[in-house]
Structure 1
Amino acid sequence: MNHELKLSEKSRTFLENLRLYLFSSGKNSNEIEEIVEELEDHLFEAEKSGKPIEKIIGNSPKEYMEMVSKEMVVDLRAWIKYICLIVFGSFSFTIFPDLLKGTLSYSVLELIGHIVIAAIFIASIFTGFKYISTTNQSIKKQGLIIAAIVILPIVLFIGLIYLNKAVDTPIIHFGNTGSIIIGVITALFIIAMSIWAKTLILIIIVPLLTLPDYLLGLTPLKNETQLMISPWITFGGIAIYLWISYKLEKNK
């Protein structure tokens, strides 16, 4: 922001909430930044003249956000991209473990379930972020809302696993060639997404979720011992990666 240090806390909070509201309304990120920067200048001038921000945004921040949102076009191309990223991302965490067990095969229920859960997850993000941006919630309550959004797809995926065992639907077998092609596409997707997001977290997490069970299965250890060790390797590896990332970021 141009005048971030000179704006009041109230103005800075409103601008952040506006940015969040417009993002969760599916607006173009570049247009969002242009509008936020323009409004930032207006708020700065108003505060400089001793005027309250209500002179610019009115008495209802929510109504102002809704008004700005209605004047903007939904960025369908960007959100189709995000939807594809979430759908393919959810599949990537199951494809590699399944590949190590053999050729890929999924029931129709599993395929549809992943798409439905991705849609529910996206809808919950939109709804939750809009609610946070238009209500004066404490940091603790905001954290609980975000935690609920993150936990929701995990619960739904667990439910899908049990539902898939209880309900019989046609199974699609991809064969050796199809499985290899899907594996390569998924690997390229993870690499491309990591480059796009400028983070190695996916490249680190996927092997940590996939390899421990497979490698331990090659050892003479009992199944009970393998089940005890595998989570420690996975979560220990993730913890070490996050700690190293934090240290590197802190030293910049």
Structure 2
Amino acid sequence: MKNELQLSKKSQDFLENLRLYLFSSGKNTDEIDDIVRELETHLSEAEKNGKSIDKIIGKSPKEYMKMISNEMIIDYRTWFKYICIIVLGSFSFTVFPDLLKGNLSYSVLEIFGHILIGIVFIASVFTGFKYLSTVSQSISKQGMVLVGLAILPIALFVGLIFLNKAIDTPVIYFGNTASLIIGLIMFLFIIGVSIWAKTWTLIIIIALLTLPDYLLNLTSLQYETKFIVSMIITFGGIALYLWILSKLEMSK
């Protein structure tokens, strides 16, 4: 975090952890910014007068963060917004491939499973971030936590696929018009999220998951060949894109 005020490394780290703790506690981002700026000023003045950060926050940063968090109201609108983004985002990975195959149809288990996974993922991310903000960990251990958070939704979706095959629940069939409307809504959602996040990542990954399989099905190649080539293009393309992103980020 870049500060105009002069702060020690310890104070900067605390403010970054406080921001992460409050965000993962579901607090309003504008209120978080106000509190961090105010505390930043207090810490800067204290350090100029030769006082330690402990004089402001005490000897337990975690308790101080918890105290501030308890004085703030939970921003349920933000929680709901992120849950909706995760749920619709997860559906976007299946809607477009399914739409290219014909009209859409999903079981009740699939629909409620996506919603539940979205809620579990948001809760796990907020819990993980709160843990990282209050406990001093090595880079490797922090990486393990973040990798675990990334793997969790993948594991849950794989489990949902097998569960959906094992348990029969009513299937909702969407007609041609309804399927096109859903496709249009998902397309506008993806564009909106990409503009909001200022990245093409979601669009590119969905395109790589959808187009290779669709285009190869238009050819006369054997099924096994189509499957192998599609996997190579899809996962190779995603890996290449992420590698390019990492190189561009390192060059900044």
Work out whether the TM-score is over 0.5.
yes
2:3 aligned residue: 2
Instruction: Encode CA deviations 1:178-230: one digit per residue, 9 max, x unaligned.
Output: 11110000001000111111111111111110011111111122222122111
- The 5 A counterparts of 1:85-164 are 85-164=85-164
- The 5 A counterparts of 1:1-252 are 1-3=2-4, 6-245=6-245
Instruction: Encode CA deviations 1:97-152: one digit per residue, 9 max, x unaligned.
Output: 11111110000000010011111101101111111111111111111111101100
Secondary structure in 1 aligned to 2:209? helix
Q: Which amino acid aligns with 1:100?
A: L
Distance 2:13 2:22 in 1: 14
Distance 1:136 1:251 in 2: 28
Residues 126 and 247 from structure 1, CA distance in 2 versus in 1: closer, same or farther, beyond 3 angstroms? closer
Secondary structure in 2 aligned to 1:172? strand
Residue-pair matches, total: 251
Distance 1:41 1:11 in 2: 11
Distance 1:3 1:172 in 2: 56
Deviation at 1:250, TM superposition (A): 6.3
Q: Which amino acid aligns with 1:102?
A: G
Secondary structure in 2 aligned to 1:129? helix
Using the TM superposition, name which of 150-159 and 228-237 deviates more: 228-237
Distance 2:137 2:248 in 1: 32
Deviation at 1:251, TM superposition (A): 6.5
Distance 1:122 1:248 in 2: 28
Instruction: Encode CA deviations 1:15-64: one digit per residue, 9 max, x unaligned.
Output: 11100000000111111111111111111121222211000001110110
Deviation at 1:175, TM superposition (A): 1.1
Secondary structure in 2 aligned to 1:93? helix
Q: Which amino acid aligns with 1:156?
A: L
Distance 1:85 1:166 in 2: 28
Q: Which amino acid aligns with 1:237?
A: G
Distance 1:166 1:114 in 2: 17
Secondary structure in 2 aligned to 1:52? coil
Deviation at 1:2, TM superposition (A): 3.1
Deviation at 1:11, TM superposition (A): 1.1
Identity %: 68
Q: Which amino acid aligns with 1:193?
A: V
Residues 243 and 155 from structure 1, CA distance in 2 versus in 1: closer, same or farther, beyond 3 angstroms? closer
Distance 2:84 2:150 in 1: 18
Distance 2:11 2:192 in 1: 37
Deviation at 1:242, TM superposition (A): 3.7
CA contact (8 A) 1:128 1:149 kept: yes
Q: Where in structure 1 are there 5+ consecutive unaligned residues?
A: none
Using the TM superposition, name which of 22-31 and 224-233 deviates more: 224-233
How well do the aligned residues superpose, as a CA RMSD in angstroms? 1.6
Could you state the TM-score of these two structures normalised by the residue count of structure 1? 0.94
Using the TM superposition, name which of 18-27 and 197-206 deviates more: 197-206
Distance 2:229 2:200 in 1: 24
Residues 62 and 247 from structure 1, CA distance in 2 versus in 1: closer, same or farther, beyond 3 angstroms? closer
CA contact (8 A) 1:3 1:44 kept: no
Q: Where in structure 2 are there 5+ consecutive unaligned residues?
A: none
Distance 1:159 1:191 in 2: 29
Residues 176 and 109 from structure 1, CA distance in 2 versus in 1: closer, same or farther, beyond 3 angstroms? same
